Amino acid sequence: MEIRTVGVVGAGQMGNGIAHVFALAGFDVLLTDISDEALSRALASVGKNLDRQVARGKITEPEKTAALERIATTTMLADLGPSDLIIEAATERETVKTAIFEDLQPHLKPETILTSNTSSISITRLASRTDRPEKFMGFHFMNPVPVMQLVELIRGIATEEATYKTLLGVVEKLGKSAATAEDFPAFIVNRILMPMINEAVYTLYEGVGSVKSIDESMRLGANHPMGPLELADFIGLDTCLAIMNVLHDGLADTKYRPCPLLTKYVEAGWLGRKTQRGFYDYRDEVPVPTR
């Protein structure tokens, strides 16, 4: 089927980024969240990010205006029912995602494709809780969505080839590249990335190096654009912990055991940039390591 209208569930960092790239590519987008305040913040973020693209010469002012006009908002999840494609981009908790799909189900068109932006949860299991597992896929964007080129496409055990090909076409229309992943815990990117971050936290936990020395070592010694602890703060330590738990539970291998220090930071509510403290303290102009 041809995708023209897209519903996005969740107006956080990922959701507003997904709305941004779809609107810029010519799709009509309906963005939903639980409050008008969250939706207002999302639209402000999209506007600011579009302004940045205009300033860099990536898009024109008329393209920015047209993209903003293609994004509508609602606090009513049922309003997304007529969409051709729905992308769930809520918090990385399976119970939350399952509840969203169950609430959406009575309002959907028969041909609507359902997807999740989950970074680690089983697509087959999420799909099995809907009335259309053959029209369900993992549609995993990277953060920040307007900048990162990759989209992971994850088929569940029941996903039809037509669904996969439709989403492959959507990724191409967005001007991004698709990587096809099998439905195993954390897929490709996070299966490789999160254990590296977790090992960096262990390196800190065991006193092998400080936050500064660990990040500097990986930036200057491995040519990474961002150190692993700085990257963890950017992603969100709660998200990193959730993915490590999915890996540990799903693969039953002790090498995926989350570092106790990562758990401790999350228990403290020090989740990284979004809470102003994580492995760095962001409350002043220059971030300062917290260990």
The sheet with strand 28-32 has its strands ordered as 71-74, 28-32, 5-9, 85-88, 113-116, 136-141, 150-155, 177-181
Neighbours of 5 (CB within 10 A): 18
Exposure letters 180-217 (e unless 16+ CB within 10 A, then b): ebebebbbbbbbebbbebbebbbbbeeeeeebeebbeb
Active site residues: 119, 140, 152, 190
Report which of 33, 173, 8, 179 is spatially closest to residue 84, judged by C-alpha positions.
8
CA dist., res. 191 & res. 243, Å (int): 9
Which residue in this structure is represented by tokens 């990385």? 92
